[in-house]
Structure 1
Amino acid sequence: MARIAAVASAFPAHVFSQAEITDTIAAMVTPDRSKQGVLRRLHASSRVETRHLVMPLEAYREQETFTRSNAMFVTVATDLLERALLDALDTAGLRPADVDYLMFTSVTGISAPSVDALLVARIGMRPDVRRVPIYGLGCVAGAAGIARVNDYLIGHPHEVGVLIAVELCSLTFQHGDDSMGNMVASGLFGDGAAAVVMVGDERARGMSATGPEVIDARSRLYPGTEEVIAFTASEAGFRIVLTAGVSPLVEQNFGEDVTQFLAANGLTVSDIDSWIAHPGGPRVLESFQTALALDGDVFENSWRSLAEYGNLSSVSVLEILAEELERPRSAGEDTLLFALGPGVSAELVLLRWPDERISV
């Protein structure tokens, strides 16, 4: 199994209150005053208080072409990931040249060469670093990325693997789309990036690190749900598709999926000491809690992230994980990290804080 050595986040400099964003974009979404009222109610009930955006608010008044918005994506994404990755490596006591395996994920922009390739020479990674850019996993990619880097490190225990994720959701903003999905999305998603540094068992020996071990992971794809969550292309760029079908799907399936996964590892829901749930929105978080029959503020960290940043897609669980690494931990504590994405797909990652911390 692999060890998480460090996690770091990075955000655009522009940060606005939810009320400021709503006031600015309401008329861009629809000229209809009654529909603007619906949008305002949706934004107010999102539990989002602030969001980081790549541009000043006024800049969103101009409808961008996909060419311009994607060019901005490449530039800003590279800058944010440089900050996040260098911070995470520094925390782990590693250098860019130490990275053997680099996985990159995003669903809000595309480029070839991919953003991970642009970072290699820029920050001094080795030219023989193994790169795996992935696209299409959406919100589930942060959890899935940790699982896939772990898969690699199990077979390469002396190596260093890195996951980098960036989502610039505001660049997908759709003018003149008064669909319910777009009105919800325009009040929910934010911009940000994160980097996770992981090390194989043998590489971990002799390092100073306090992060958890990846014990196990499981993927779940729900057939026939392709249109429940999606990301489609339009003339103005990518368009987020959200439907009301997410919560019923969670409540019908997620509890059993988690129970079976934990049972395979000799655990029950009551054995989990802490949770890192993807903050897909208020209804989604409530559905997770219902499906798992959990009481109290077990998802307090997810509600905090939703309020401060909005839904960051693949970055959200990584931002929460970065915060969780700052908290004191008991030996042997178990954490379940999970997310949902297009498909609909789910990824579960079981983390355990080791009995003995790695020492120099």
Structure 2
Amino acid sequence: MEGNSKPLVDQPWKSQLHLFKLPFFLLLIAAEAYITIKRWQPMFQLLPVLCILIYLAIQHYLSRPLPVYLLDFSCLRPPRHHRIPTSAFLEHATLHNYFDKDSLEFMSKIITLSGQGEETYLPTPLHYFPPKTGLRDSIGEAHSLFFPVIDDLFSKTRVTPRDVDVLIVNCSGFCPSPSLSSIIVNRYAMRDDIRSFNLSGMGCSAGAIGIDVARTLLRKRENSYAVIVSTEILSTGWYAGKDRRKLLLNCLFRMGCSAVMLTNKREKKSSSKYRLAKLLRTQRAFDDKAYRSAIREEDSEGITGFTLERGLLQVAADTLHDNVFSLGLSVLPLREKIICGFHLLASKLFKKGDQYVPDFSSAIQHYCLPASGKAVVREIGKGLKMRKEEMEAALMTFQRFGNQSSSSMWYQMAYMEAKRKVKEGDRVCQLAMGSGPKCNPVVWESLRDSSVDEAKKGPWFDCIGRYPLNDD
């Protein structure tokens, strides 16, 4: 179906309301003057005031931002032939002549301690000897990620490609020309007026940034759909050197892709899963130490890789702490907001004492955390005083699929839905953290209970009954 071109402007009624503002108030002033001159009864003096109150009420009602609903989402379930057990990964690494004995032992230790399972996936280019990391191979990898998950999303939502008004693709390490978003527009013959964006270099938090961009555009365009695709192209990020700080990505990052359908159509509320309740963005790129804690660079031999410094966890903790207060003041009940504000003021005045962590249990029921390994998830959970059950989705997602960068949040959401944990009215916080460093929590309010059918579809369809595992 052909879509009509929709200019990127505020809702037309909003601009029309502003056009009538000056004539309206001039008319009221004239009416007030006339009533005064004619010396009408005092009750007539209230008519202009009443008109002003009615006008302000109408303006407030019409000026509310358009709601943003999550219609549905899809997560890629890679084919079985992409599976890479730990033994196979280490055997392949041994056959590559650029890894020495120390590097192999280090990678074996990292994978073993991380909590990663035996059913994670690597893309086709990384199953070759040596791995194929050329442009053609990476574009082929992108095709294998994008098209199955986007096809599934259109099938679930019954939205056609030509209905889509906004397309956002985030992939940190691969930026071809034409862009990844153009590849999707070309494949699905989308409209010529679609607003397409390609976010690169934004790290594991880029999925939340994509949601933020979509939210901004949906508040400007009525009756619109937005698709956000999140993934990472691993063939371009493969590191073939000996720097241990760069070998971590080889060990932890695995294949994954998600696609999300958002809309601002009010009539779609009944068929949507969630409503976007809150989204915050903070970063610490202004701090040199934080900025360099996770960075893509060359090693001493000129081999490019992504460095993760030892102080990364502390940087993440500082970034998270800065964000927690802002989130608390946004979503907590009044009593907790007062306590949170008091501690924030005290920390600014005295600059000492233990760091206060708000009690989010009254405002948020479920969490999706950065799935960067068992130790990282537990450290974040400890910092936020979470219960074991609240860390379950992140731990099980990493065990089953590994670190899937920005798409991991949606695999965790799929886990909670498959377990039927999410009930109507519950709030789910996706705590997206990534290089920069950035911390971008997204809070969704559930519009319905998770259905029985969720366990029969999605990435967990044939294994959800095995979880949670006892990983202690």
- Compute the TM-score of the two structures, normalised by the length of structure 2: 0.68
Cα deviation code 1:19-41 (max 9, x no counterpart): 32123214638654344323211
User: 1:115 pairs with 170, 180, 183, which one?
Assistant: 180
CA distance in 2, matches of 1:78, 1:259: 40
CA distance in 2, matches of 1:87, 1:62: 33
Query: Is the aligned partner of 1:184 residue 2:275?
Result: no
SS of the equivalent of 2:251 reads coil
CA distance in 1, matches of 2:448, 2:381: 29
From the two aligned structures, give the one with the greater helix fraction.
2
Amino acid of the residue matched to residue 248 of structure 1? Q
CA distance in 1, matches of 2:305, 2:296: 6
Q: Does the 8 Å contact 1:102/1:162 carry over to 2? A: yes
CA distance in 1, matches of 2:448, 2:99: 59
Question: What is the aligned length?
Answer: 350
Q: Does the 8 Å contact 2:332/2:360 carry over to 1? A: no
User: 1:320 pairs with 402, 406, 412, which one?
Assistant: 412
The alpha-carbon deviation at position 43 of structure 1 amounts to 1.5
Q: Following superposition, which runs of at least 4 residues in structure 1 exceed 6 angstroms of deviation?
A: 233-237
> Using a 3 Å threshold, how does the CA distance of structure 1 residues 315 and 240 change in structure 2: closer, same or farther?
same
Cα deviation code 1:119-176 (max 9, x no counterpart): 223223212211011111111111221222122212224100110122122442122x
User: 1:229 pairs with 294, 297, 300, which one?
Assistant: 294
The alpha-carbon deviation at position 188 of structure 1 amounts to 0.3
CA distance in 1, matches of 2:126, 2:186: 33
Q: Does the 8 Å contact 2:168/2:198 carry over to 1? A: yes
Query: Is the aligned partner of 1:275 residue 2:367?
Result: yes
User: 1:245 pairs with 294, 299, 311, which one?
Assistant: 311
> Using a 3 Å threshold, how does the CA distance of structure 1 residues 81 and 56 change in structure 2: closer, same or farther?
closer
Query: Is the aligned partner of 1:51 residue 2:120?
Result: yes
CA distance in 1, matches of 2:449, 2:416: 18
CA distance in 2, matches of 1:56, 1:260: 42
CA distance in 1, matches of 2:97, 2:366: 39
Q: Does the 8 Å contact 1:276/1:336 carry over to 2? A: yes
The alpha-carbon deviation at position 237 of structure 1 amounts to 7.8
SS of the equivalent of 1:5 reads strand
> Using a 3 Å threshold, how does the CA distance of structure 1 residues 171 and 355 change in structure 2: closer, same or farther?
closer
SS of the equivalent of 2:116 reads coil
Residue in structure 1 matched with residue 267 of structure 2 by the alignment: 205
> Using a 3 Å threshold, how does the CA distance of structure 1 residues 5 and 312 change in structure 2: closer, same or farther?
same
SS of the equivalent of 2:281 reads strand
Unaligned 5+ segments in structure 1 are none
What are the residue-to-residue correspondences of 1:121-270 with 2, within 5 Å?
121-175=186-240, 177-200=241-264, 203-206=265-268, 209-222=271-284, 223-224=286-287, 225-232=290-297, 239-267=305-333, 268-270=359-361
Residue in structure 2 matched with residue 332 of structure 1 by the alignment: 425
Cα deviation code 1:201-239 (max 9, x no counterpart): xx1414652411111111111132111112346899852
Q: Does the 8 Å contact 1:47/1:307 carry over to 2? A: yes
CA distance in 1, matches of 2:305, 2:209: 22
CA distance in 1, matches of 2:185, 2:176: 15
Unaligned 5+ segments in structure 2 are 1-66, 334-358, 451-472
Identify which of structures 1 and 2 has the higher relative contact order when contacts are C-alpha pairs closer than 8 Å and 6+ apart: 1
CA-atom RMSD in angstroms: 2.5
Amino acid of the residue matched to residue 248 of structure 2? V
The alpha-carbon deviation at position 275 of structure 1 amounts to 0.3
CA distance in 2, matches of 1:190, 1:145: 21
Q: Which has the larger radius of gyration?
A: 2
The alpha-carbon deviation at position 5 of structure 1 amounts to 0.8
SS of the equivalent of 1:162 reads strand
Residue in structure 2 matched with residue 292 of structure 1 by the alignment: 384
Residue in structure 2 matched with residue 81 of structure 1 by the alignment: 146
